């Protein structure tokens, strides 16, 4: 029996074919949309850690389908006349197989050299499981929340940081002996690889997640298998609310906001998993940057949350608090007397201060959203006063590091009440930056062998944030309406996504532990205190549990501070990477640490390519019969939660091939003999996905 593919949230596993995939054939290891341009990059290393390897493809390459048939053949095109690509140190070829559009599983094959790529899928739903895995990173990074097996799979944990003098009753770092300073600051996300929580650092993440939803709400379903799944609200919005609930607690009655909270030294609260930590936690001082950032996040969130009837009272509170924080921050802006050295690092790690220029930019951002929400003339006057001071207008540089502010500027020019003169300044500035394209990151460019160009100076700590942000900036160009031919900018988005999914010199998916989701070569280690070196979570393939899936790591860093470790030191820019998670003095955090802002920028990029969150039939069945399977991922025994009548069950592969069947009596189903990967269980008319590891 076969299930029609349209009923499934389609995916695959590399276990379909066991043959080792080539180090020289780079494809998106998850796959491609049917209508997409599809180009495999073939590499011949010349410089860097893999320069001892060599490969030259044959004159004809093939695309092979799951049945073993050749569905397409063609000649690879030599890149740049055979020159060496400076950013990677490789020579290479491009193999365009765009005509292959039939949904299915494929690989690229060199019949003479007997080299083959990893498997990949072509389908409209190809990126939906990746989106869910990447979105669930925020669930795993929830602070103060238990992670039961039904939601967390093998990455379980008890409630964290709710011991005495921790998040529910933490004290001010400047007066730790004062019991009257205790506050409940529970909730929110761990910021990055540590367990701290920051207001200013949250800004980019919250804005990008909200924009991702606004730009493509159909991408986000209510089925991420988090505690709120099935409540009628997209799970992305539930996750953002988890962060906003904490942010509201950081706000004082006068609109001042504490900038961060966490530990007072590196040796405290450094255990794995999070629930093992019992040292006190503290909150930091109030800072103008925190109030201004909070105003912008809350005002932006009002637009999204007010769209759900059951969340409208909550949204009204967000808008009230946004106005309060904005009013508190306004005198700092008007007097030009910002608090720029507020975070003295008494709470260790991450200087959360913002420069005067950055605070002015976020102030304008907040004013734009408040203007749109309230139509009050006072906000209009503030926008027209301070927007001309922003980098986008003063220097004409839009760039990847302030995309949420650029979003607000483009949003402003579309408002009915927008000032014509300021709107013209904004449009002229962006159009000039795009037209001149001095730095080469607007529109698809052939100057990158790996088809995802960004300037040399962006391969720094957190380069993957820059990579995703350049793509989101290209989408902003499309939204702005300043270009007639949008295809080069859409292609830039597509190719940058493929870079994250394996079209890079490492041939590595820059998300953690994605093997069960189709990756043949994924991030195995990352610098995260929970998934630390030497723990059961250390390595995706060699450790007992491995890290949780879906975390975006920092990426290649040509400025790595320990050049004696090579790689990542002393490498071409795109090869300045190492799959490791050791701490000081190896400083792996400069390469493999994840962060909520990296994650959100990537998720926004990914969401551009995602179709509807789930096929209509599956969405309807989920609402009609809200069953759940757990643990998910599962290793041996699959439980089903819900009032399910006795009957038969069937388990299928992602391609509709029946793998198991039997009578369902409410007892756990033994799935220990299933292959690793995504599968589907049918119970009556309901089909539910699960991951076997």
Sign of the Cα pseudo-torsion (592, 594, 599, 601, in order):
negative
* pLDDT, position 685: 65
What pLDDT, on the 0 to 100 scale, is given for residue 475?
97
DSSP string, 95-153: EE-TT--SSEEEEEEETTTTEEPPPEEESTTTTHHHHHHHHHHHHHTBSS--B-HHHHT
According to DSSP, the residues that pair with 39 across neighbouring strands are: 96
DSSP strand pairing (120-122 vs 31-32): parallel
Nearest alpha carbon to residue 511 among 88, 24, 133, 121: 133
For 362, residues 6+ apart whose C-beta sits below 8 A from its C-beta are: 203, 289, 292, 293, 295, 296, 354, 405
CB–CB of 119/15 below 8 Å? no
* Cβ neighbours around 392 below 10 Å, total: 23
Contact 141, 240 (CB under 8 A): no
What is the longest distance spanned by two Cα atoms in the chain?
A: 76
pLDDT at 3: 37
Any residues with CB less than 8 A from the CB of 301 and at least 6 apart, and which? 206, 210, 240, 244, 315, 318
Do the domain assignments include residue 669? Answer: yes
Please state the domain count of the chain.
1
Q: Do 274 and 301 form a contact (C-beta atoms < 8 A)? A: no
**DSSP string of 401-469, one letter each residue:** TTHHHHHHHHHHHTSTT--HHHHHHHHHHHHHHHHH-TTS-SS--TTSTTS----GGG-STTHHHHHHH
The conformation of residue 312, written as its DSSP 8-state character, comes to H
Model pTM score: 0.90
CATH of the domain at 631: 2.60.40
Could you give the CA distance from residue 400 to residue 472 in angstroms, rounded to a whole number?
Answer: 8
Name the token pair of 230: 């099935």
Count of CB atoms within 10 A of residue 468's CB? 31
User: CA 176, CA 671: separation in Å to the nearest integer?
Assistant: 52
Residues 6+ away with beta carbon under 8 Å from 220: 131, 135, 212, 213, 234, 235, 236, 237, 607, 613
Q: Answer for the pair 298, 247: CB distance below 8 angstroms, yes or no.
A: yes
**Residue 509: closest CA among 89, 129, 56:** 129
Residue 569 CA to chain centroid, in angstroms? 26
Query: Would strands 282-283 and 171-172 be described as parallel, antiparallel, or unpaired?
Result: parallel
User: Residue 658 falls within a domain, yes or no?
Assistant: yes
Distance set, CA 598 to CA 95, 115, 278 (Å): 30, 34, 28
88 by DSSP, 3-state: which? coil
Residue 526 lies in a domain: no
Residues in the chain where the model's pLDDT stays below 50: 1-19, 614-626
* Residue 618: per-residue pLDDT: 37
Range of the domain at 652: 625-692
CA 33 – CA 612 distance, rounded (Å): 13
Do the domain assignments include residue 608? no
- Rounded to the nearest 10 degrees, the angle between the axes of helix 288-305 and helix 199-215 is 20
Within 478-625, strands assigned E span: 509-512, 522-523
Q: Would residue 380 count as lying in a domain?
A: no
Q: What is the DSSP letter of 183?
A: B
User: Can you tell me the distance from the alpha carbon of 224 to that of 233, in angstroms, rounded to the nearest whole number?
Assistant: 11
656 in any annotated domain: yes
Preceding amide of 137 cis, omega within 30 = no
Instruction: Give the residue ranges of DSSP H helices in 608-644.
Output: 616-624
Say what the pLDDT of residue 665 is.
78
633 lies in some domain: yes
Instruction: Give CA separation, 597 vs 18, 209, 469, 496, 501, in Å.
Output: 36, 9, 10, 17, 18
- Rounded CA separation 208/474 (Å): 14
> Are the CB atoms for 492 and 443 separated by under 8 Å?
yes
Give pairs for 646-649: CB < 8 Å, separation 24+.
Answer: 647/683, 647/684, 649/681, 649/682, 649/683
- Given a contact cutoff of 8 angstroms between Cβ atoms, the answer to whether 210 and 106 are in contact is no
Residue 143: what pLDDT? 98
Q: What is the pLDDT of residue 5?
A: 37
Please state, for a pLDDT cut of 90, what percent of the chain lies above it: 83
Q: 572 in the Ramachandran plot: left (φ > 0), alpha (ψ -120 to 50) or beta?
A: beta
379: helix, strand or coil = helix
Please count the other Cβ atoms lying within 10 Å of the Cβ belonging to residue 36.
Answer: 20
Which one, of 644, 653, 654, lies nearest residue 686 by Cα? 644
pLDDT at res. 693: 61
Residue at 284 is within a domain: no
Spatial distance between the Cα atoms of 628 and 222, rounded to a whole number of angstroms: 13
- How far, in Å, CA of 128 to CA of 611, rounded? 8
């Amino acid at each position: 029996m076969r299930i029609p593919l349209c009923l499934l949230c389609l995916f695959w596993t590399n276990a379909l074919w066991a043959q080792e995939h080539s180090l020289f054939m780079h494809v998106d290891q998850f796959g491609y949309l049917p209508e997409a341009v599809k180009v495999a990059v073939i590499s011949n290393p010349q410089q860097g850690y893999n320069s001892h390897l060599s490969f030259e493809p044959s004159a004809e390459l093939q695309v092979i389908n799951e049945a073993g048939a050749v569905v397409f053949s063609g000649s690879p095109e030599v890149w740049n006349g055979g020159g060496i690509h400076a950013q990677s140190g490789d020579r290479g070829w491009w193999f365009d197989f765009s005509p292959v559009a039939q949904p299915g599983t494929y690989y690229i094959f060199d019949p003479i050299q007997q080299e083959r790529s990893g498997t990949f899928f072509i389908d409209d739903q190809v990126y939906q499981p990746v989106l869910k895995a990447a979105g669930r990173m925020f669930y795993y990074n929830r602070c103060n929340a238990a992670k039961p097996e039904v939601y967390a799979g093998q990455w379980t944990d008890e409630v964290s940081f709710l011991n005495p003098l921790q998040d529910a009753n933490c004290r001010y770092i400047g007066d730790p002996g004062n019991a009257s300073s205790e506050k409940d600051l529970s909730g929110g996300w761990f910021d990055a690889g540590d367990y701290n929580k920051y207001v200013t650092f949250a800004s980019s993440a919250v804005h990008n997640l909200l924009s991702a939803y606004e730009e493509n709400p159909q991408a986000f379903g209510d089925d991420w298998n988090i505690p709120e799944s099935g409540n009628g609200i997209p799970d992305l919005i539930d996750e953002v609310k988890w962060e906003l609930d904490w942010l509201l607690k950081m706000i004082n009655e006068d609109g001042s906001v504490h900038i961060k909270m966490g530990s007072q030294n590196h040796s405290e609260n450094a255990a794995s998993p999070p629930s093992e930590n019992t040292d006190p936690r503290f909150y930091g001082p109030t800072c103008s940057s925190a109030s201004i950032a909070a105003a912008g996040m809350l005002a932006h969130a009002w637009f999204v949350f007010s769209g759900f009837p059951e969340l409208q009272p909550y949204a009204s509170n967000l808008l009230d608090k946004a106005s309060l924080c904005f009013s508190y921050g306004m005198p700092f802006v008007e007097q030009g007397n910002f608090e720029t050295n507020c975070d003295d690092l008494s709470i260790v790690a991450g200087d959360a201060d913002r420069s005067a220029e950055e605070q002015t930019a976020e102030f304008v951002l907040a004013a734009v959203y408040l203007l749109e929400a309230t139509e009050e003339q006072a906000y209009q006057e503030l926008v027209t006063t301070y927007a001309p001071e922003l980098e986008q207008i003063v220097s004409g540089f839009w760039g990847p590091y302030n995309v949420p502010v650029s979003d607000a500027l483009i949003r402003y020019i579309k408002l009915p009440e927008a000032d014509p003169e300021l709107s013209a300044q904004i449009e002229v500035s962006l159009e000039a930056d795009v037209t001149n394209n001095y730095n080469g990151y607007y529109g698809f460019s052939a100057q990158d062998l790996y088809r995802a160009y960004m300037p040399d100076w962006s391969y720094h700590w957190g380069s993957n944030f820059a990579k995703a942000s350049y793509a989101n900036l290209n989408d902003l160009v499309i939204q702005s309406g300043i270009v007639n031919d949008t295809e080069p900018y859409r292609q830039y988005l597509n190719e940058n996504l493929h870079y994250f999914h394996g079209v890079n010199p490492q041939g590595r998916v820059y998300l953690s532990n994605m093997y069960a989701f189709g990756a043949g070569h994924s991030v195995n280690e990352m610098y995260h205190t929970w998934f630390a070196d030497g723990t059961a979570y250390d390595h995706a393939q060699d450790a007992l549990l491995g890290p949780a899936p879906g975390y975006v790591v920092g990426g290649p860093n040509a400025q790595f501070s320990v050049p004696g470790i090579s790689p990542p030191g002393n490498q071409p820019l795109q090869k300045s990477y190492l799959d490791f998670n050791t701490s000081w003095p190896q400083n792996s955090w400069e390469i493999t640490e994840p962060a909520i802002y990296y994650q959100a920028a990537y998720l926004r990029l990914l969401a551009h390519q995602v179709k509807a969150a789930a096929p209509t039939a599956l969405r309807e069945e989920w609402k009609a019969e809200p069953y759940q399977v757990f643990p998910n991922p599962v290793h041996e025994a699959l439980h089903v939660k819900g009032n399910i009548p006795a009957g038969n069950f069937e388990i299928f592969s992602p391609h509709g091939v029946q793998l198991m069947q039997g009578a369902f009596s409410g007892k756990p189903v033994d799935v220990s003999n299933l292959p690793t990967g995504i599968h589907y269980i049918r119970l009556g008319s309901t089909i539910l996905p699960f991951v076997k590891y």
